[in-house]
């Protein structure tokens, strides 16, 4: 295929907590032409559990080489999960990128808490492990002072990959504003903690996610066949990538449930003043730099634990049987996270006595009930848009529609993060109308009002 006849495309690098994706996206229609996936592995040896960035990089280079032979790639956009940070100098990482689920940073929690500032400054709850980037940085600095002292830059995770692709250093508000303790969302400035610890001086200038950070490294262009003019945009936090098309195209109030390992609820038009940090409520910062009331829980992780990883789709009869017998999963199955963080998850019956379909039905109802709690905690209003894996779970969607009594729309046509990240190639002005919503989800055929009341009473 000659260079002139090849389609113009954008590549989206989307690194989630569980899997990484590399998507070739048609620049005109923003449809995914080709998609490569790989597990996002955590290495357990070494100083502490950390992401295998070298393996990911080799996989990325192989994917870019393949895509460069098929399309005229003019832009690469990066999006990643939050709570990951790269500490580097001109030679690369001075310390591995910590897996935020590692509990090592909990050892300094008591010393860190007086330093982190009030919730109403950062709108970031006090979270376990490394879920607050500030706690990560404090633990790394105290534990490995010599290595930390060699740092010349601190980069949020999307911008680490921007640096590997282009050599440019940048930061942007969605990653800094993702329960990091480093950002004041309402003021749009670094937090007192970031300033006092000197970390703010190591974080590059904050730009818009769609701003061009640089062009591809010449050596990488030569290796992959990409044009040397290929732009690398600044990048974005993955759940905020899902949110971006909606804030550009919809009127508030509405909510977006971005689902994967986590369910992240963005309650656009909700109430910041009513957020409860003890229940994993926070404000995320959208691509336009504005705080958005949010709540979250590890829906994907918990669903997998509840079902034992089985992929069975429950029948209507299995849903009805679970509801009739009052078989429930009670939170939480991901300790330390979500609105029921300090409860110990359990089934009301031995799950081994349930069929795979019954377990899946109970897990789907569980996720809908916890999602309802998140919506209530953020004072969410208006229609609800569900993206990601749970957008394909018919029982979850119908149960949520029954519980909430407002329109629930499933976006199964695209990976929300990929669509949003692809928008960065053209910026907000090039968003276009997007694909129309499908019909609202019909409520569950089985009446679950009594089941939901009993579920909440069991928690009380």
Mean pLDDT of 442-447: 96
338 and 391 together in one domain: yes
191 and 270 together in one domain: no
Judge whether 254 and 385 are in contact, CB under 8 Å.
yes
| Number of structural domains found in the chain | 2
CA dist 9 and 17 (Å) reads 26
Tens digits of per-residue pLDDT, 205-224? 999 999 999 999 999 999 99
Closest to 117 (Cα-Cα) out of 62, 69, 54, 181: 181
Judge whether 49 and 98 are in contact, CB under 8 Å.
yes
Task: Tell me what pLDDT residue 3 has.
Answer: 56
Judge whether 234 and 170 are in contact, CB under 8 Å.
yes
What is the CATH classification number for the domain harbouring 187?
3.30.420.40
User: Of 181, 203, 234, which closes a domain?
Assistant: 234
173 and 225 together in one domain: yes
230 and 88 together in one domain: yes
222 and 342 together in one domain: no
User: Of 173, 199, 234, which closes a domain?
Assistant: 234
Task: Tell me what pLDDT residue 438 has.
Answer: 83
Q: Is the pLDDT of residue 60 over 60?
A: yes
Name the band, by pLDDT with cuts 50, 70 and 90, for residue 419.
confident
293 and 363 together in one domain: yes
Tens digits of per-residue pLDDT, 384-415? 999 999 999 999 999 999 999 999 999 876 56
Please give the C-alpha separations between residue 29 and each of 121, 389, 390, 431, 433, in angstroms, as whole numbers. Answer: 41, 23, 25, 11, 11
178 and 246 together in one domain: no
243 and 156 together in one domain: no
Task: Tell me what pLDDT residue 460 has.
Answer: 83
Q: What are phi and psi of 130, to 5 degrees?
A: -105, 25
377 and 362 together in one domain: yes
277 and 229 together in one domain: no
pTM: 0.91
Tokens 């192989």 belong to: 62
CA dist 368 and 118 (Å) reads 31
Task: Tell me what pLDDT residue 430 has.
Answer: 76
Name the band, by pLDDT with cuts 50, 70 and 90, for residue 435.
low
User: Of 234, 258, 274, which closes a domain?
Assistant: 234
Mean pLDDT of 163-168: 98
Q: What are phi and psi of 305, to 5 degrees?
A: -70, -40
Give the pair of three-digit tokens for residue 254: 């509405």
CA dist 148 and 141 (Å) reads 6
Task: Tell me what pLDDT residue 208 has.
Answer: 97
Please give the C-alpha separations between residue 413 and each of 102, 130, 264, 368, 440, in angstroms, as whole numbers. Answer: 34, 33, 19, 21, 15
188 and 255 together in one domain: no
Judge whether 338 and 372 are in contact, CB under 8 Å.
no
Domain span at 149: 3-234
275 and 213 together in one domain: no
Q: Average per-residue pLDDT in the chain? A: 95
Q: Is the pLDDT of residue 55 over 90?
A: yes
Tens digits of per-residue pLDDT, 237-280? 999 998 999 999 899 999 999 999 999 999 999 999 989 999 99
């Amino acid at each position: 295929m000659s260079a002139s006849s090849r389609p113009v495309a954008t590549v989206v690098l989307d690194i989630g907590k569980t899997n990484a994706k590399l998507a070739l996206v048609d620049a005109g229609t923003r449809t995914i032409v080709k998609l490569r996936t790989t597990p996002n592995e955590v290495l357990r040896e070494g100083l502490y559990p950390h992401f295998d960035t070298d393996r990911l990089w080799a996989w990325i280079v192989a994917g870019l080489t393949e895509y460069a032979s098929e399309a005229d790639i003019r832009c690469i956009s990066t999006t990643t999960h939050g709570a990951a940070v790269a500490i580097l100098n001109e030679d690369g990482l001075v310390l591995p990128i910590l897996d935020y689920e590692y509990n090592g940073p909990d050892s300094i929690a008591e010393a860190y808490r007086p330093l982190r500032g009030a919730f109403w400054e950062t709108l970031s709850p006090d979270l376990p492990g490394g879920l607050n980037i500030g706690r990560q940085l404090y633990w790394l600095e105290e534990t490995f002072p010599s290595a930390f002292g060699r740092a010349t830059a601190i980069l949020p995770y999307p911008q680490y990959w921007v640096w590997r692709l282009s050599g440019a250093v940048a930061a942007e508000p969605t990653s800094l504003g993702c329960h990091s303790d480093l950002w004041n969302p309402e003021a749009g400035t670094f937090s007192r903690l970031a300033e006092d610890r000197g970390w703010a001086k190591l974080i590059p200038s904050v730009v818009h996610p769609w701003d061009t950070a640089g062009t591809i490294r010449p050596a990488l262009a030569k290796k992959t066949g990409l044009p040397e003019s290929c732009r690398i945009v600044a990048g974005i936090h993955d759940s905020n990538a899902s949110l971006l098309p909606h804030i550009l195209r919809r009127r508030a109030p509405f909510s977006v449930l971005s689902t994967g390992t986590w369910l992240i609820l963005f309650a656009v038009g909700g109430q910041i003043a009513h957020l409860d940090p003890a229940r994993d409520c926070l404000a995320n910062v959208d691509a336009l730099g504005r705080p958005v009331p949010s709540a979250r829980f590890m829906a994907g992780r918990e669903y997998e634990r509840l079902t034992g990883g089985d992929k069975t789709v429950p029948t209507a009869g299995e849903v009805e049987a679970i509801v009739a017998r009052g078989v429930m999963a009670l939170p939480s199955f991901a300790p330390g996270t979500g609105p029921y963080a300090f409860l110990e998850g359990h089934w009301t019956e031995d799950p081994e006595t349930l069929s795979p379909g019954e377990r899946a039905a109970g897990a789907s109802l569980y996720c809908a009930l916890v999602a309802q709690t998140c919506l209530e905690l953020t004072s969410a209003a208006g229609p609800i848009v569900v993206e990601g894996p749970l957008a394909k779970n018919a029982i979850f969607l119908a149960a949520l529609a029954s519980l909430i009594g407002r329109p629930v729309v499933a976006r199964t046509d695209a990976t929300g993060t990929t669509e949003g990240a692809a928008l960065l190639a053209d910026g907000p002005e090039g968003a276009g109308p997007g694909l129309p919503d499908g019909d609202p989800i019909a409520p569950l055929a089985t009446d679950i009002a009594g089941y939901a009341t009993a579920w909440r009473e069991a928690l009380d």
